[in-house]
Amino acid sequence: MTLQSDDFSSNASCQLILAPPILSPSIIYDIKSNLSLLHPFIDAPCCSDFSWMLDRMKRSGRPSSATVPKPTLLSIDSTGRFLSAMQYKSKFYRFHRTNLSLEGIYSLPTGYVCASSIYKRGYIFFGCDTPPALMIFKETNLTSPLMRINMTQWIRGVSFAHNDTLMFVAVQEGDYGVYIYNIIWTPKIFVSLAKTFAPIVDQMWTIHTVNDSCVLTTFWSNNEPVYKIQSPTTTSMSCFRNSLPTTKVTGSNSLGEAVTDPCGRIWVVVYGFGIRIYDQ
C-alpha cells in the first residue's frame, strides 16, 4: 500500500467523508460543521491525476442550507433521497441528497442521548451513550425504537457485510472494541452475537464496510493505523483483523473516517490535516 495523495491540507480540514467521489457524490464536513456536496466524478472514475481531480471536485462544491454543530456520521436512507447527519449527543438532521437543502431536524425520544446513526434496509440504527445501547427504529418513525441491543460502553459506528447478514458494531472503551452479530431481517429483526474483538486501544472510533467480506476500523489515536477486519470469503464466518501500517499517523494528528472507493483506494480523514488517499 502506498500513499497516493495528500489533500485538503489546512487548519479547516475535513472531519467526515461519505461515498468517495468516484462514481457517486461525495459529502465532506469542514471544521466549521458545513456540508459540501462535491462533484459526482463519473467521466474518469479511476483517474490517477489527483491534483486535477480534487481541484475539480472542490471548485464544484455546493454548500448545504444548514450547519450541523458537532457532526458525527453521515448516512443515506433506503430510498436514496435523503442524507442524514447526527449532531453529537443531540438532534438528527436530514437533507435532500441532490442539493443539500434541509428537509428537517428531528429530536430523539426523551431519555436517548446518541452519537451516531446509520440507515439500512428501511431501518435506522442509533449508537447511544444513554442508554449505552444500539437502538433500532423504522427510518420513517423515530417516536419509539423497535429493538434495543444493550452495550457496556458507547457505540461509535455500525456497518454490515455478508449480504447484510453480519452486523459490525464499534464500541468506544470497554472489554471489546468490535462486536459482530448475525442479523436476520424478516419477518422481524433478530440478532445474535457471533464474535468479538478486543480493542487495540480504548478509543475505538469508526467502522465502515469495504465490500461484502471486509470492513475498516479506526481509533482515536495518533499511534495506530487503520485496521481491516475480513473473512476469507463472503460466506465464511471466520473473521480476522490485520493492520494497514502505511496509514499510521504521527505527531498530533489522529485518524477519523476510513472508506474505500470503487477503484480500491482508501480515503482516510486525518484530524488536524485533511484527507490522505492510499492505493491497495
In the chain the domains, ranked by start, together with CATH numbers, are 3-278 (2.130.10.10)
Is-cis flag, bond preceding 21, omega within 30? no
pLDDT value at 122 more than 80: yes
Tens digit of each residue's pLDDT (9 = 90 or more) over 69-104: 777 778 889 998 998 888 888 999 998 887 788 999
Q: Residue 258 is inside which H or E element, if any? A: strand 254-260
Average pLDDT of 224-250? 84
Per DSSP, the three-state class of 6 is strand
The radius of gyration computed from the CA coordinates of the chain, to the nearest angstrom, equals: 18
Which grid cell is 218?
479506526
Say if CB 162 and CB 213 are below 8 A apart: yes
Strands 35-37 and 27-29: antiparallel
Q: Which of 4-8, 56-60, 141-145 has the highest mean pLDDT?
A: 141-145
pLDDT value at 137 more than 90: yes
Give 143 or 269, the one with higher predicted confidence.
Answer: 143
pLDDT value at 278 more than 70: yes
Give 98 or 140, the one with higher predicted confidence.
Answer: 140
Question: What integer pLDDT is reported at residue 185 of this predicted model?
Answer: 95
Mean pLDDT of the chain: 79
Question: What integer pLDDT is reported at residue 54 of this predicted model?
Answer: 67
Report the C-alpha gap between 118 and 197 in whole angstroms. 21
Percent of the chain at pLDDT > 90 equals 31
Biggest CA–CA distance in the chain, Å, is: 50
Question: Given pLDDT bands bounded at 50, 70 and 90, which one contains residue 276?
Answer: confident
Q: Residue 58 is inside which H or E element, if any? A: helix 50-59
Q: Which of 86-95, 127-136, 171-180 has the highest mean pLDDT?
A: 127-136
Q: Which of 161, 154, 118, 124 is nearest to 139 (CA)?
A: 124
pLDDT value at 125 more than 70: yes
Question: Given pLDDT bands bounded at 50, 70 and 90, which one contains residue 22?
Answer: very low
Question: What integer pLDDT is reported at residue 99 of this predicted model?
Answer: 79
Of the chain, the end-to-end C-alpha distance in Å amounts to 5
Q: Specify the pTM.
A: 0.82
